[in-house]
Amino acid sequence: RAHLDRIAAVDGAVHAFLHVNEAALDAASDIDRRRAAGEELGPLAGVPIAIKDVLVTTGMPSTSGSRILEGWIPPYDATPVRKVREAGMVPLGKTNMDEFAMGSSTEHSAYGPTHNPWDLDRIPGGSGGGSAAAVAAFEAPIALGSDTGGSIRQPAHVTGTVGVKPTYGGVSRYGSIALASSLDQVGPVSRTVLDSALLHDVIAGHDPLDSTSISDPWPSMAEAVRRADVSGLRIGVVKELDTDGFQAGVRSRFHEALELLERNGAEIVEVSTPNFEYAVAAYYLIMPAEASSNLAKFDSVRFGLRVTPEGGGTVEQVMAATREAGFGPEVKRRVILGTYALSAGYYDAYYGSAQKVRTLVQRDFDAAFANVDVLATPTAPTTAFRLGEKLDDPLAMYLNDVATIPANLAGVPGISLPAGLAPEDGLPVGIQFLAPAREDARLYNVGGALE
């Protein structure tokens, strides 16, 4: 009730939610009844949760921020949604996002932008700005997001929240409306590291419905937080992401956090990852290529919107009119970019080269992790910028992802933690840690030590 009241009070200004779950109170009462009847419930039972609209949900519309899916109510729950419901968590509603998770500011949502609760004139990050803003504005205690190139971590950075991208394959992608299938991961957004760990423990694990799901069991992330100890931990500072290209206050908070870890017994060493320089360029070929294929299913027949040209039309004309009306400009830009990169004659030059760069980025991680336990970087180059500031400049928008994209290309896990406020503008700053694949618990160890 308190969270629904808070949403009613502030969401007119924040616009974190696209849909508020009318059944939330009934679901909460049901948990109370089960508890009263003596049922053994997990630690998150009864806790309300906001869900990024990229995840399909029964009983609630799932639009992925797009007009093309307006009003569509899916016939099944995404696996992470099913798991949070089974854990007794109560969905509060669906959160705003850049259309099909393409963006870094939530301004590409077809339903209008979300505002950063720290300063309503500023962006909440993206694509998962709705989930991060909901948590930062105390509209929800915790949320689910998805991260293809930083969409959990960068919003966490600009809203002073915790965001985790698990190891690729750690959390099922079943029912997460695909952006780029080889990069997408679902993960937690919260106000504390322990909260993210508890949610991580709920959503992780093998799912036969996702062919890339890892079958091995996972250690408890919550235990890693509770036993946090960084003495002897080797932390590598990525030289290429510790430069003048980052805002002064972002860098100073980053180094203060590292000093704190050092005082607690961690060893800080410098690490070089020369191929990270090309990660953004490779990502913005691979991601649109996969997205152009994934979005082909929005054909006016299977889901949502259908627009028939005046006087009727052929199947192709209906499809074209539907996609013309249903997709926003950023989605069209990436579909065109992706189909071009995949087309005969250009495939080797663009998509093929990008895949080679992807391998080189993976090798940079392998070389680094031979020497250090985790890597540290600022999560993003600047604090929250103003709404509209980068909307007309796609390249400037893409460069926000310079520190977050390498993890997706390599499939390794990453966490963004609040590191304080930048002295020059008083806005939140995040610090990112990255660990080898399947070593998500190391991130919670560091996070627990810093909290």
Q: Which residues are catalytic?
A: 52, 127, 151
CB of 103 to ligand GLN, least distance (A): 5
**Does residue 53 belong to the site contacting ligand GLN (CB under 6 A)?**
no
- Going residue by residue from 349 to 388, which x/- string records binding to ligand GLN, judged by CB under 6 A? ----------------------------------------
Candidate segments 145-153, 193-201, 319-327, 424-432, binder of ligand GLN by CB under 6 A: 145-153
**Does residue 201 belong to the site contacting ligand GLN (CB under 6 A)?**
no
**Does residue 287 belong to the site contacting ligand GLN (CB under 6 A)?**
yes
**Does residue 179 belong to the site contacting ligand GLN (CB under 6 A)?**
yes
**Nearer to ligand GLN among residue 3 and residue 200 (C-beta):** 200
Q: At 236, phi and psi to the nearest 5?
A: -95, 125
Candidate segments 40-48, 149-157, 195-203, 232-240, binder of ligand GLN by CB under 6 A: 149-157
**Does residue 101 belong to the site contacting ligand GLN (CB under 6 A)?**
yes
Residue with tokens 């962006």: 123
Task: Compute, in degrees rounded to 10, the torsion defined by CA atoms 429, 204, 79, 73.
Answer: -10
Among 46, 61, 93, 149, binds ligand GLN (CB under 6 A): 149
Neighbours of 20 (CB within 10 A): 18
CB of 301 to ligand GLN, least distance (A): 26
User: Which positions ≥6 away from 102 have C-beta within 8 Å?
Assistant: 108, 127, 179, 291, 330, 331, 334
**Does residue 147 belong to the site contacting ligand GLN (CB under 6 A)?**
yes
CB of 182 to ligand GLN, least distance (A): 13
**Nearer to ligand GLN among residue 48 and residue 413 (C-beta):** 413
Task: Scan residues 107-136 and list those touching ligand GLN (CB under 6 A).
Answer: 127
Candidate segments 148-156, 274-282, 415-423, 424-432, binder of ligand GLN by CB under 6 A: 148-156
Task: Scan residues 216-275 and list those touching ligand GLN (CB under 6 A).
Answer: none
**Nearer to ligand GLN among residue 46 and residue 124 (C-beta):** 124
**Does residue 411 belong to the site contacting ligand GLN (CB under 6 A)?**
no
**Does residue 186 belong to the site contacting ligand GLN (CB under 6 A)?**
no
**Nearer to ligand GLN among residue 146 and residue 322 (C-beta):** 146
Please give the residue ranges that form the binding site for ligand GLN (CB under 6 A). Answer: 101-104, 127, 147-151, 179, 287, 401
